[in-house]
Amino acid sequence: MSLLDDYDALLFDLDGTIYRGEEPVPGADRAVEAAHAAGTKVRFVTNNASRGPDEVARHLVEMGIRAETAEVSTSAQAAAAVLAEKLQPGTTVLVVGSDALVHEVELKNLTTTRKHGDAVQAVVQGLSKDTSWWDLAEACQSIRARALWVACNVDPTLPTERGPLPGNGSLVAALRAATGTEPLIAGKPATPLMDEAQRSADAEKPLVIGDRLDTDIAGAVGAGLDSLLVLTGVSVAQDLLDAPEDMRPTYVAHDVGAVTEAGIRLGSDKDWPDAVRDALARLGLEHEVA
């Protein structure tokens, strides 16, 4: 028996789970192939709003990982959906982020701009490596003028082959400090992105797989879904040991290859520290916690 026998869909995070920057996580290609072979639906669910679903799918294929555009759910899509629920068609939205985010917003029949003005009724913010102080300044003006503010995600860091680098949450923090305002959040751990991924997979019992306790796992807990923490990205063994109840995964593994195995389950009649220490010992990682 393996996890593929127990779940009808796998909701994979990307950064830190399937790849790190431009490098795939070893075994990710085999895990995805095994899921398809077992008839288990696959969704790639990413908080990174810098690329469109088609770009993400191409990027995965270039890495040797099977993927189709329809299998990708991004926080840009989720943020655009949140805006569409709250705004009238044609409303002007100031975009801080990539052209992919602009495209998703315009698909919802909303007008986009990069400059503050009287017509701006909302600001949407997603990760772009080209974001400058001037972009944040324009958004600051609109937010202070009471525009609706939606953040694609608030991840403080982005896992890369160079290690953790500033994520969208770090730039959101700058605007939060400048405006004294809190954004609505579309990505994990908030529910819009996770709900959309589960809906698109038509899944009754999906397994959420990710590397971050504060986004992937917390999002799964909030949605009432089982989850697998992989130790290939941001969260480490000590973080798992110290995790509060709303960030505790169902399983833990070295990497996504664990989906082809029975899984090391953390739920037991033991208290949390003992359950985690037992699981880490099975992984050979008991030395990584205090």
pLDDT tens-digit readout, 133-168:
999 999 999 999 999 999 999 999 887 778 889 999
User: For this structure, is 269 an active site residue?
Assistant: no
| Residue 202: C-alpha distances to residues 8, 42, 175, 195, 246 (Å) | 9, 11, 37, 10, 25
- Condensed to tens digits (0 to 9), the pLDDT of residues 220-243 reads 999 999 999 999 999 999 999 999
- Condensed to tens digits (0 to 9), the pLDDT of residues 107-124 reads 999 999 999 999 999 999
| CATH (one of 3.40.50.300, 3.40.50.1000, 3.40.1710.10, 3.20.19.10) for 3-47+189-288 | 3.40.50.1000
**CA–CA separation, 190 and 177 (whole Å):** 21
Query: Of 6, 13, 29, 271, which residue is the catalytic one?
Result: 13
**CA–CA separation, 113 and 105 (whole Å):** 11
Query: Of 5, 15, 130, 239, which residue is the catalytic one?
Result: 15
Residues 75-185, CATH architecture: 3-Layer(aba) Sandwich (3.40)
Identity of the residue numbered 143: I
Task: With beta carbons less than 8 A apart as the criterion, state whether 193 and 45 touch.
Answer: yes
Residues of the chain with CATH 3.40.50.1000: 3-47+189-288, 75-185
User: For this structure, is 15 an active site residue?
Assistant: yes
